[in-house]
Structure 1
Amino acid sequence: MAAASAFGLLPAAVTPADAQDAAGTGALKLADPKPFSFDALKAEAKAMAGQPYKPPMLPAHDIVQQLNYEQWGRITFNTDEALFAAGPGAFPVTFFHLGMFFAKSVDMLVVKDGLSREIVYDQAMFNIPADSPARQLPKGIGFAGFRVQEPRGGKLDWRHNDWAAFLGASYFRAIGELYQYGQSARGIAIDTAVADRPEEFPDFTKFYIETPAGDGDTITVYALLDGPSVTGAYRFLMTRGKGVTIEVEHTLHLRKDVERLGIAPLTTMYWYSETAKPTAIDWRPEVHDSDGLALWTGTGERLWRALNNPPRTTASAFSDVSPRGYGTLQRDRIFDHYVDGVYYDKRPSVWVEPLADWGHGAVQLIEIPTDDEIHDNIVAMWVPQEAAKAGNAYAFHYRQHWLAYEPFPAPLAKVTATRLGRGGQPGLPRPQGSRKFMVEFLGGPLETLPFGTVPEHVVTASRGTIGPYQITEAVADGVPGHWLTSFDLTVDGQDPVELRMYLKSGDKTLSETWLFQYHPF
C-alpha cells in the first residue's frame, strides 16, 4: 500500500515461499492475499468517485528528488528478481525505481485464482550504486512502474529487452514490429490545451498483474485510475506478435465537470520534417516520432492530416459518428531522412480500433509549439459529443495496434510527403502572400493507371485563392504509382487555412484525402 510505504512500513504479513513460487513470484516478498476481480475493481473506482480526491503520496520526497535523470538511470532492476522470471507464461515482468521525474509510488500486485498479493519493495530487487541517494530510502517505499520483458527463449535476450512499459501518470507505451519505442498512449486525457484551465494528469495508482495460465503470447494487467476529476478501472490484454496489440477496456466516473474528455489518447512528437524547416535549426533533415494523423471515418472515408509544429497551440476537430479508427503514424521509413542513431525511421505507428459503437463525437488533434525533440507536443484522442459533467459514467472498449503502418490499409494511394515552398515560377517575380504546396502520393490505383492517364486533383481551401499554378505529374524516379501534385495558394493575414485535396480519375477516387492546416508567415 502506497500510504504505508510512505512511512517506511512493510505490509502486515508476507506469504511463505511455496505460495510465492506457485504464483511465479520466486523470491519476491508478497503481502497477505485479498480477493480480486475486475468487477470489484470497477466497483472500487465507482465508490472512489463519490469521495473527495486524495493526492498520491510522495514517499521520502527529499531523497527521491536527488535521483535526477542520470542518478535514476544508474539504478537497474535485478532480473533474477523478475516476476515470472522462470514462468509461468512467456514474459517476465520487471519494475521501475522511483526518481525525481517519477516520484509517485504505485502499488504492484500479482493476481492468481481470484486473489491478489501486493509485491513489497526491497532494495535487493535493484542494482543500486554504492554512492546513490537511493540507498537512504526506507523499506517498502514502492515502485514507479513496470515493464514486460521479451519472451524467455525468444530471439532477443529478455533480460535486456522489453516490449511494453507503464511509467508516469497514466502513460504507457509499446514497441512496434521494428523493435523501437517512440510515441506513448494514455489511459485518459483531461482538459488538454483548454484555455485558462490547467491540464490534469490522473494517475494509475494500482496495477494488478495476472499470473498467466499457459505459455501464450498475451499478458493481462488491470489498473485503478484516480485523479481530481475522474476515477476509472482498466483491463489491458497485451499481445506480443508481429508488433504489439493492446486491447483496452475501461469504465470511468467523473468527480467534476471536464471541458475536454480525451478517450484513447495518443501522445507523440513532431518537431519538423521535409514540410517546413527553419534554416539551420538542427543538423538532421527531419526529427519526429510521427508525421501524420490517419482517420477512417464512420462513412468509410480515409483521411491523412499532415502534422504541424504550429506557431501557437491549436486544436482541430474531425467530427464523426461511429469512427472505424484513427492513429498517429510514422510513414517515412527512410533512414537517410533522419541520419540519426535514435532510429526515428523505426518509431512505431499506433492505430486505435474501436471495438464498440462510440457514437457521436470527434477525433481531436492538439498541436503545441516545440523547439526541441524532448517534448511530446502532439495529442490525438476521441472526444465524445456529450458534455462531460460530474456524475457521468463511461465505458469504452478498443484495441491499439503498435506496428510500422496502419493495420487496415485502404486500397487507395497514400500521402507520403507534404512540402512547402515559395509560390509562383522560377525566373519570375514571386507574388506576395503566395505559397506553393507539393504533395506526394504513392501506390493504390495509381500503380495501374493506363498509359497517358493523368490523375485529376481536387483541392479546396477554407480561405484564399488557389492558383494560377497547378500541376499533377508522375515523379521521375521510376517507381510505379508515384505522383506529385503542386498548387499555389495566395492568402492575406495570418489566420490558419484549412486545405483539402485528393486525386481522382473520372468518378473514381484514387487516393486518400490529404488535409493540412497552413499557418501563413
Structure 2
Amino acid sequence: MFDRLLNAPLKDTSSMLLTLFLSCSTGLTAGRLSAEDPCLAVGSYKDLCRLAEHLSTQPHQPRASLPAALANIAYEDYCSISFRPQRATWWGKSPTYFETFHRGFVQRDRVQIFTISESETTAIPFSKDDFVYGGSLDAATVPDDLGHAGLKLLHTLEGASEAQELLTFLGASYFRGRSGDTRYGTSARGLAINVALNQDEEFPYFRAFWVVRPQPGDRTVEILALMDSRHVSGAYRFQFAPGSQESRLDVECQLTFRSQPEKIALAPLTSMWMWGDGLQGPPRDRRPACHDSDGLLVRQQVKAGQPAHEWTWRAFARQSYPSVSRIAVDKLTGFGLMQRNRAFYHFDDHNARYDLRPSVWVTPTTPWTDGHIELLELPGAHEGIDNIAAYWVPGGSQAQSKRLTLAYSVAFFAGDHKQQSYVSRATDLRLDRHPGQRTVDLEIRFSGPAVAEMAAESPIQIDTDALRAKVLSKRSERTETGDRLVFLTVQLLEDAPAELAVQLLDGKRVLSERFTYLCPPQTPEFVYPAVYTRQE
C-alpha cells in the first residue's frame, strides 16, 4: 500500500531557512570551572546520567554571552584562527588525540571539555597559546577564560603515515564524522525539538564533553557529552570506531525532560541538496549536480516477528517552499541520508568534491516502533546552507515519556548500504515536463543483481502508486548492462506536488527498493545568488 506522505508548506519560512545553517549559534551558559564543579565528579556514563537527571530538576540557565569582538567577527577572520597541532591533547603520545575549536562568529556556545584517564577527571582549560590568530582579530581582545566551542578528534588509521580529522562536535548538538576515504558532508545531531512546526525550533546543545583516554590496543574512543536546553537535559555516550572504509559511532543516551515539548526528533541528520536528478541548476553554473546526499533510504521490518524487510528510497526534490514528508514505520531497522551517486562527472566540481561526501546511516539497537521518518526539504539559498533534514519521530508512549533511554549507531561510509547489495536500487532519475498539458514523463533506472539476473525476455511487474496524480502509461526496458529502465507518463491532477511510488516485482518476489518521489506540476523557480555560481 502506498504510504501517504504529508507534504505541506510551512508558514515561518524565514526562520526555518536559517535554522539548519545558524543552529550552532544557540545554547546556554556553561559556567566557568570551579573546585565545586560537578563536572569534575563525572568519571563514567553512569555518573553523567545522574548529573543530567539532577540538572533536569533545576531551572534552565540562559546562554553564555560572547565578547563583541568575537560575536561581530567576519567569517574570513574567524577561519583565520587556527589550532596549533603540537598543543593538542595527547599529541605525539597516542594514535588518537584531539584539538579544540575557538569561540566566535556563529560559534557562540561556551563548552567545557574534560579528559578521563585512569578514573581521574581533568579539565582542559582554554588557552590563547593553543591558537594562531590571523586576520584582523587582536588576540589581546580575547578573554583568558573564553572557554571552548567544541572539539575535533584526530586518529592515525592503520597503515597511514599521519593522523586525519575524523570526528567533530561543534555547534548545538551537531557532530560530523567520516571514514578515511571520504570527506565531511552530512551532519548528525543528538536531538531536535519542535522541528518543522510553525514555531521556532529549539536546539539542545552539548554543554560539556569528557574524552576518555584510549589505552594501547583500543579500537574505539569513548566520549561523554552533557546535553541541555529549555525542555531537556541529557547524557550521551559515544563510542567512536574510526576506519578507512567506515567510521561508526555507537550512541547511548538518557533524556530527562523538564517539560514535554510538542515534538521530539531522534537521531536527526542534516544535509544539502541544491540540484541534481530531476532538477537543473542555475544557467551559468555548469555543474550537473550539487549535493551532499541525493536521497533518503529507510529500512523497516514489514511485520513484527517476520524477517522480511522493505527498503524505501525517497529521491530528493526541492519545492519553492519548505515541505515536510512522512513515511509511516511499524518497526524501524535503519535510515540514512545517502550519497548514492559518487561519479566525479556527476558533479564536475574539483573544489567541493561532492563525489567524496559520505553516506550516513542510523541503526537502532533499541526498539523504534509505531512512529515515522520525517523528511524536511527547504528551498535553500545556496550550497553553503544545509536544507535537508531527516529524523525519527516516535509515537505512542515513547513520545510522551518523561525519561527516554535510547541506543543506536551512526555509520559514515562511501556509497550504498552494504546490506542492500542484492535488491535493485534506483540509481538515476530524469524528468520531462510538457507545459500546458500537466503531464510529466519520468525515466527511472534500477540497478542491481535482482534485475540483472532476470532474462531479457522475462516480464517484470511495475507496481505503481500515485497521490494527486494518475499514471497514464508504464513500461520497462532492459539495458545492455542488465539495468532496467522504467518509463512512466503521469498526469498531475492538482496544483500541489504529486506523490509517486514505483517498485519492481517478479510475481510476489520483490526485485527493487520502493522508489518514491515528490513531483511538482511545474519546475520550481529559485533565485540563485550570483556569488554562489562558479562561472561568475
Query: With structure 2 as the length reference, what TM-score do the two structures score?
Result: 0.86
Work out which structure has the larger RCO, using CA pairs closer than 8 Å and 6 or more positions apart in sequence.
2
User: Gapped runs of 5+ residues in structure 2?
Assistant: 1-27, 303-308, 523-536
For 1:151, which of 156, 169, 174 is the aligned residue?
A: 156
Q: Among residues 357, 361, 372, which one is paired with 1:347 in the alignment? A: 357
Q: Following the alignment from structure 2 to structure 1, what is the Cα–Cα distance between the partners of residues 196 and 137? A: 38
Per the alignment, residue 257 of structure 1 pairs with 260
- The yes-or-no answer on 1:272 pairing with 2:275 is yes
Q: Alpha-carbon deviation of 1:259?
A: 2.2
- For the 8 Å contact 2:49–2:235, the answer to whether it is kept is yes
Q: Does 1:51 align with 2:39?
A: no
Alignment check: 8 A CA contact 1:275 1:417 kept: no
Please say if 1:98 is aligned against 2:100: no
Distance in 2 (CA, whole Å) between partners of 1:33 and 1:229 is 24
8 Å CA contact 1:401–1:407 kept in 2: the answer is no
Aligned to 2:234: 232
Select which of 323, 333, 338 maps to 1:324: 333
Code of the residue aligned with 1:296 in structure 2: it is R
User: How far apart are 1:153 and its partner, in Å?
Assistant: 7.8
Contact 1:180/1:348 (<8 A) preserved: yes
Larger deviation: 45-54 or 147-156? 147-156
How far apart in 2 are the matches of 1:2 and 1:279?
A: 42
After TM superposition, the structure 1 stretch with the greater mean CA deviation from structure 2, 491-500 or 384-393, is 384-393
3-state SS of 2:361 partner: strand
Describe the SS at the equivalent of 1:47: helix
Q: Which residue of 1 aligns with 2:424?
A: 413
SS in 1 for 2:169: strand
Cα RMSD over matched residues?
Answer: 2.4
1:169-228 alpha-carbon deviations (Å, 9 max, x no partner): 100001135231101000001111101x10111110000000112233311100000011
Could you tell me which amino acid in structure 2 is paired with residue 435 of structure 1? V
- The alignment partner of 1:461 has SS state of strand
- Amino acid aligned to 1:432: Q
* Deviation of the 1:42 alpha carbon: 0.9
Deviations 1:363-388 (A, max 9, x none): 11111111311111111111110377
Cα deviation per residue 1:330-376 (whole Å; 9 max; x = unaligned)? 10111111111211111000110111112321111111111311111
- Alpha-carbon distance in 2 for matches of 1:278, 1:56: 40
Count of equivalent residues: 486
Question: Are 1:36 and 2:43 counterparts?
Answer: yes
Within the alignment, does 1:447 sit opposite 2:456 as a pair? no
CA distance in 2, matches of 1:310, 1:217: 44
Deviation of the 1:248 alpha carbon: 0.6
Measured after TM superposition, the shift of residue 154 of structure 1 is: 5.0
Structure 1 window deviating more from structure 2 (304-313 vs 454-463): it is: 454-463
Q: After TM superposition, give the deviation of residue 509 of structure 1 in Å.
A: 1.7
Counterpart secondary structure, 1:72: helix
Q: How does 1:145-224 map to 2 (within 5 A)?
A: 145-151=150-156, 155=160, 157-158=162-163, 161-195=164-198, 197-224=199-226
User: Using the alignment, how far apart are the partners of 1:67 and 1:415 within structure 2?
Assistant: 45
Aligned equivalent of 2:343: 334
Query: What CA distance in whole angstroms lies between the structure 2 residues aligned with 1:277 and 1:55?
Result: 44
Deviation, 1:231, is: 1.1
User: CA-to-partner distance for each residue in 1:273-304, whole Å, 9 max, x for gaps?
Assistant: 02122561632110011111111112211111
2:320 is matched with 311
**Structure 2 counterpart of 1:510:** 511
Which runs of structure 2 are paired with 1:368-387 in the superposition (5 Å)? 368-386=378-396
> How big is the shift at 1:115?
2.7
Superposition deviation, residue 462 in structure 1: 1.4
Per the TM alignment, residue 389 of structure 1 is displaced from its structure 2 partner at its CA by 7.2
Q: Which amino acid aligns with 1:272?
A: W
Cα deviations across residues 314-343 of structure 1 (Å, max 9, x unaligned)? Answer: 211212122110111010111111111211
Q: 1:169 to 1:400 in 2, by over 3 A?
A: same
Q: Secondary structure at the match of 1:144?
A: strand
- Counterpart-to-counterpart distance in 1, 2:158 and 2:312: 41
User: Secondary structure, in 3 states, of the residue corresponding to 1:42?
Assistant: helix
- Which protein has the larger Cα radius of gyration, Structure 1 or Structure 2? 1
Q: 8 Å contact 1:295–1:302 — kept in the other structure?
A: yes
What is the CA–CA distance in structure 2 between the aligned matches of 1:153 and 1:391, rounded to whole Å? 43
Pair 12,152 (structure 1): closer, same or farther in 2 beyond 3 Å: farther
Are the counterparts in 1 of residues 80 and 135 from structure 2 also a CA contact under 8 Å?
Answer: no
Change (3 A) 1:346 1:454: farther
2:462 and 2:474 in contact (8 A); partners too: no
Pair 1:133–1:256, CA change in 2 (3 A): farther
- CA displacement at 1:33 relative to structure 2: 5.6
CA distance in 1, matches of 2:362, 2:505: 28
Q: Is 1:114 matched with 2:119?
A: yes
Q: How does 1:4-43 map to 2 (within 5 A)?
A: 5=32, 34-43=41-50
Counterpart among 454, 478, 502 of residue 474 in structure 1: 478
Whether the aligned pair in 2 keeps the contact of 1:257 and 1:388 (CA below 8 Å) is no
Query: Which letter does structure 2 place at the counterpart of 1:77?
Result: F
